[in-house]
Amino acid sequence: MTGSGVAAFYKGWQLANEELIRVVEPLSPAQLQLPVGSPTWPIWASVSHLAGTRVYWLCHVFEEPGAETTPFVDPTGVGWEDEPDHPRRADELVGALRSTWAIVEHTLGVWTPESLGREARRVLGDTVRMHTRQSVLMRMITHDAFHSGEISLALGSNGLGAIDMWRGLSRVVTDR
């Protein structure tokens, strides 16, 4: 392991982001409108929600830098998916995935194993919750996987292929 961050512990997560980009990039506006789990939640909204969540947690809750380099600058977490009458194009979604991944990558490089227990406060109405850095990283990984799974199911159900989040994490061996 090189460096003092935790990136080595999360190696491979970036492959899931790259795979999502690979699958979303060629989608037409009509394909991006395909519903994901609900008739009112299209693929484009799910992708933008996935990307915006990274900024919300890392920049707005844990105060890491970089929100201004993304389309998601509202500290309340309001994102593109909250504007259903303004569907997003594939190039916008790819830009959002890339810019928000840069924040994840930076964070993994500067957070250390010793710092993963640090907490941040999140206030929702009358409820105050404390979250550790570790819990938020796990939340974001599973959140990415959850929504990628929904998107993959919608694509596959419409004959448009699937997302292979594990692409690049293994290799074929010809001798047993």
Contact 8, 122 (CB under 8 A): no
Contact 59, 74 (CB under 8 A): no
CATH number for region 7-157: 1.20.120.450
pLDDT score at 58: 98
pLDDT score at 76: 86
Q: Can you tell me whether residue 121 is helix, strand or coil?
A: strand
Q: Can you tell me whether residue 25 is helix, strand or coil?
A: coil
CA atoms of 170 and 176, how far apart (whole Å): 15
Q: What's the whole-model pTM score?
A: 0.92
Burial class, 38, CB count within 10 angstroms (exposed 0-12 / middle 13-18 / buried 19+)? exposed
pLDDT score at 3: 61
Quick: pLDDT tens for 2-42.
Answer: 567 999 999 999 999 999 999 999 999 999 999 998 888 99
Percent with pLDDT over 70 in the chain: 97
Quick: pLDDT tens for 78-131.
Answer: 999 999 999 999 999 999 999 999 999 999 999 999 999 999 999 989 999 999
CA atoms of 25 and 92, how far apart (whole Å): 9
Higher pLDDT, 54 or 2: 54
CA atoms of 50 and 145, how far apart (whole Å): 9
Q: Count other C-beta atoms under 10 Å from residue 170's C-beta.
A: 7
